[in-house]
Amino acid sequence: MNKASIVIVGAGISGLSAAYNLAKAGMKDVVVIDKDYFTNGATGRCGAGVRQQWATKLNCILAKKSIEFFARANQELNYHKDIEFKQEGYLILATNEKEDLQFSKNVKLQNSIGIESEKLTIEEALKIVPHLNKDAFVSATFCKTDGHVNPFLMSEAYYLEAKRLGVQFYFFEEVKSIIVKDKTIYKVVTDKREILTDKVLNAAGGFAKEVGEMVGVDIPVFSENHEILVTEPTKPMQGPMVMSFSKNIYCQQVPHGSFLMGRSNPDAKPSHDISSSFEFLDEMALTVSDILPEVAKLRVIRTWGGSYNVSPDRQPIISDTLLVKGFYMACGFSGHGFMFAPITGELLREMILGQELDEYAKDLHIDRFKDNIATDYEHSVV
Amino acid sequence: MNKKDIIICRCEDITLADIHECLEMGYETFEDLKRILRVGMGPCQSQNCAHLIQTEIANYLKINREDVKLQKTRPLITGVVLKDIAKAKEQEDE
């Protein structure tokens, strides 16, 4: 029978980052299993933005450390192509007084841990994105080191380097059950093989809850469809991601030239649905016509959906559990697993190899939801 | 003819050499190739390249062409200007 020192469920960005970090630290026999094609899940469906402008300290720290990695990723991962890290900022619009006040607080928090965000007036924002509708917002925040990374190529960079370090990947193979003996991981059963192992990492993205159920661990997350569209490519016309929480939009021109934009559906129910709807297209078209009328002149060529795996406080769960020894999880990223992936992999490496975790990272533990202990809630989410 | 001079995907300027290189790296489905090379992501949504790539995959894997799955078809059928969609929605709501 096959043996592994760890089986990682899911070859999305979190699983890839963890596999790379573990192999680089010297772990042998790392196995990654994915039920479908390369980046079939949330990673390959995400909006490709990477930002540090958050409302909770925890998310700010995770984001800052991850941005630092993206800047050196091509080199560290010996990637023969380019992950397309573009640092032209995120411009986040405040559309009312309440948001304006909150954003001042956010910037103060971000600055306190070294994130270079700043508050901007309407005039200052228009200098950065001249085609903004000046009547659609009251102020903005900007962080010039935020930006874009290509999710497919970032994944490939991790994947190829992990393979070179000896990680074994099985695509189009589904984990069917995980056998636990004496409260310890014992075996992983897929539709093609059985693998003896005493460690499993649940990096199953939209299906993290189901993988938790396989070992009797109730993870308080649910999946929700978030839709997105892409336009035809055009000349470079917008540097930063433009975002508004109150107007429910994010919109960025990627290096390829096309615009990606998305919004959340306030009526979405927890499910694994990832289909496209005409309602999304209507609402998205209305919102972008209001805020960015120049961008609305472009043709939309494709729409799709993907799962947010949402946690109770909209912050990730990167954790082990007392219930099952050897069971680890990285889930509940609430739409931000791609941009937090570098630090996710590093923290998992520390946790799985029994190294001392940084103090802040202890707040990512699943037990923070026990007994309704109050945690910071992340409001800066589309 | 040089494989580098044979364009397979006109939207994204992808050559036969690019396709073969990816196949040899282990990306053996249309969905994999799409994500690495952007084939099928351009304005034509793979109307031009789909069957060419299907043939290349079939030849590489030595299987029948009809056994090679094409990419998932996603909306829209053709490109539509966002502002026109917004206008139609506003008229509908009036």
Contact A232 B41 (CB under 8 A): no
Query: Taking Cα atoms as reference points, which of B63, B90, B69, B38 lies closest to residue A257?
Result: B38
- Find the CB nearest A286 among B38, B43, B86: B86
Interface mutation vs chain A, best among B30, B80, B85, B92, most A CBs within 10 Å:
B85
pLDDT at A215: 98
Q: In sequence order, what are the residues at sequence separation of 6 or more whose Cβ sits closer than 8 angstroms to the Cβ of residue A95?
A: A136, A137, A138, A244, A246, A247
pLDDT at A1: 67
pLDDT at A353: 98
CB contacts, 8 Å: B27 with chain A:
38
CA distance B91 to A101: 36
CB contacts, 8 Å: B71 with chain A:
none
- Report pLDDT digits (tens) over B20-63: 999 999 999 999 999 999 999 999 999 999 999 999 999 999 99
pLDDT at A227: 98
pLDDT at A58: 97
Residue A328 structure tokens: 């680890």
In sequence order, the β-bridge partners of residue A196 are A3, A187
Residue A198 structure tokens: 């005493």
**Strand, coil or helix: A174:** coil
- Find the CB nearest B79 among A153, A284, A299: A299
Residue A204 burial (CB count, 10 A)? 28
Q: Is A87 exposed, middle or buried (CB count within 10 Å of its CB: 0-12, 13-18, 19+)?
A: middle
Enumerate the H helices of chain A as residue ranges. Answer: 13-24, 57-76, 97-112, 122-128, 151-164, 208-214, 278-291, 341-352
CA distance A8 to A23: 12
- Find the CB nearest B82 among A152, A285, A302: A285
What is the pLDDT averaged over residues B78-91? 97
pLDDT at B46: 94
- Find the CB nearest A232 among B43, B83, B85: B43
Query: Taking Cα atoms as reference points, which of A142, A53, A131 lies closest to residue A291?
Result: A131
**Strand, coil or helix: A76:** helix
Contact B76 A232 (CB under 8 A): no
Q: Are A55 and A108 in contact (CB under 8 A)?
A: no
Residue A265's φ and ψ, nearest 5 degrees, are -105, 110
Low-confidence ranges of chain A (pLDDT < 70): 1
CA distance A82 to A150: 9
Residue A65's φ and ψ, nearest 5 degrees, are -65, -35
Omega into A323 within 30° of 0, i.e. cis? Answer: no
Q: Are A143 and A53 in contact (CB under 8 A)?
A: yes
Query: Taking Cα atoms as reference points, which of A10, A4, A372 lies closest to residue A214?
Result: A10
Contact B81 A297 (CB under 8 A): yes
| B21 in reach of chain A (CB within 8 A) | no
In sequence order, the β-bridge partners of residue A194 are A189
CB contacts, 8 Å: A39 with chain B:
35
The total number of residues shown for chain B amounts to: 94
pLDDT at B57: 98
**Strand, coil or helix: A205:** helix
CA distance A309 to A332: 5
pLDDT at A372: 73
The position carrying tokens 């055009």 is: A234
Residue A156 distance to chain B (closest CA, Å): 8
Residue B1 distance to chain A (closest CA, Å): 26
Query: Taking Cα atoms as reference points, which of A331, A326, A325 lies closest to residue A366?
Result: A331
CA distance A15 to A344: 9
- Find the CB nearest B86 among A232, A289, A302: A289
Residue A274 structure tokens: 């990832």
Using pLDDT thresholds of 50, 70 and 90, give the confidence band for residue B17.
very high
Query: Taking Cα atoms as reference points, which of A214, A211, A255 lies closest to residue A236?
Result: A255
Residue A228's φ and ψ, nearest 5 degrees, are -155, 155
Q: Is A189 exposed, middle or buried (CB count within 10 Å of its CB: 0-12, 13-18, 19+)?
A: middle
CB contacts, 8 Å: A286 with chain B:
86, 89-90
Residue A149 structure tokens: 């990374």
pLDDT, averaged across chain B: 96
Query: Taking Cα atoms as reference points, which of A234, A139, A294, A37 lies closest to residue B31?
Result: A37
In angstroms, how far is CA A152 from the centroid of its own chain?
13
CB contacts, 8 Å: A302 with chain B:
41, 45, 74-76
Q: Is A173 exposed, middle or buried (CB count within 10 Å of its CB: 0-12, 13-18, 19+)?
A: middle
Residue B83 host element (H or E): helix B82-93
CB contacts, 8 Å: A295 with chain B:
82
Q: Are A70 and A235 in contact (CB under 8 A)?
A: no
